[in-house]
Amino acid sequence: YKLRKIERDHGPVRLELASDDRAAFDALIRWKSEQYRQTGLSDVFAFEWTVRLLERIWSERNESFAGWMSTLHVGDRLVAAHFTMRSFGTLHSWFPGYDPEFSKYSPGSLLLYEMARVGAHIGIKQVDRGT
């Protein structure tokens, strides 16, 4: 329902399962930092080493381990991003985030759904969301 609604209101939805878009990565970091501040949690991205670690993981690209960032766009606008680690057929969720202006559409959930749906066609068998 929300996928149809966001498309009706804003245009076609596009998934990029394994994006290398640095601007999208930076947007995800901004969204998560703001979320941490608003909820009173420690902003893990305030520490430079955290971002460097994610960049290093993101640069890994082999069958046994890869850093993946999936993105969801509506038209040309980024509305959600999800940083994961892929190991063989499993995606390990780490940092999902979305543009707060689109919160009524649940863009993070839409992205996760699309990641699972499209990922199944390329060998992703499981999305591990942690606890």
pLDDT in tens, the chain (131 residues): 889 999 999 999 999 999 999 999 999 999 999 999 999 999 999 999 999 999 999 999 888 999 999 999 999 999 999 999 999 888 898 999 999 999 999 999 999 999 898 988 888 898 888 76
pLDDT of residue 131: 67
Is the pTM value of this prediction over 0.75?
A: yes
* Token duo for residue 58: 């993101």
Q: How many residues does the chain have?
A: 131
pLDDT of residue 126: 86
pLDDT of residue 32: 95
Give the amino acid at 50: T
Q: How far apart are CA 49 and CA 109, in angstroms?
A: 28
pLDDT of residue 123: 85
Structural contact between residues 98 and 31, judged by C-beta atoms closer than 8 angstroms: yes
